[in-house]
Amino acid sequence: MCDDSLIYDSLYADARLRGWSGWGGDARIANGPSGLQRITEKSYVPQSGPALELGCGEGHFCRLLAAYGYTVTGIDISKVAIEWASEKQSGGDNIAYVTGNLCQPDVLKEQIYDLIVDGNCLHCIIENDRMIFLQNVHRLLSDRGIFFVSSLCSKDGKSSIIYRANRAYRHVPSVTSLMDELEEAQFLVLDSEVRERNEYNHISLFAKKMHSPSSYETLRDKAAQRRLAR
């Protein structure tokens, strides 16, 4: 099981020392509202209800979700991140923050969410832990729920691992391998978009649970129709 809490504790502590608004600097945090719009403008995304952010950091996107009207849970492996998020929380925020390991099979036991947002977390999960992570998401997602993924992806069609201080730090999948992982975990991808970046590309996608062969075929056909209509 992955346990990189010390790595991320140090990175969040460094972000605080630099005076940043959150992980990745002020410019990244400023993109939050446009990211929320990109999710909520989809007609199949529930517009209210329980929502979960995976890898919530200091909670900036959780706060946006709560302001939109969701009842929000944010989870992160870093205690420093969760402490920072709790410090930023106002009395009116409808947010619960949890320190937890998304590679543990029983994480957030007995909880169900209508929207699960991958806050650039999946590409931090390495090798076999990725399927445990996706199985957790499948268990936590309601039957009508949507799973939004935001991940690095490769430019050359090959998956790779990025190392930091001699430890596996990022998994950069090919688009094909990411789609295969999601299908294996019983998700149906409804829509996806790859954005060109300098070193690695970035993929955003929306998925929901497969329920039965008939529902799979129906959703697949609807997704194909949406792609053709674009």
Q: Does residue 169 contact residue 162 with C-beta atoms inside 8 Å?
A: yes
For residue 224, the model assigns a pLDDT of: 54
Please report, for the domain that includes residue 73, its CATH number. Answer: 3.40.50.150
Contact of 146 with 116, CB cutoff 8 Å: yes
| Phi, psi dihedrals of residue 133, rounded to the nearest 5° | -55, -50
- Residue ranges of E strands in the chain: 49-54, 70-76, 95-99, 113-118, 141-153, 160-164, 167-172, 187-195, 201-209
The ranges of the chain with pLDDT < 70 are 1-3, 212-230
User: Average pLDDT of the chain?
Assistant: 90
DSSP designation for 152: E
User: Can you list the positions of beta strands (E) in 40-140?
Assistant: 49-54, 70-76, 95-99, 113-118
The partner residues of 116 in beta bridges, in order of sequence, read: 52, 147
- Token pair of 193 as six digits: 């978009």
pLDDT single digits (tens) 200-222: 999 999 999 997 554 445 555 55
In the chain, how many domains are there? Answer: 1
Name the pTM for this structure.
0.89
The pLDDT value recorded for residue 230 is 42
Nearest alpha carbon to residue 207 among 180, 170, 230, 173:
180
CA nearest to 25, candidates 67, 60, 74, 76: 60
What is the per-residue pLDDT across 60-83, written as a single tens digit (0 to 9) for each? 999 999 999 999 999 999 999 999
35: containing domain:
5-229
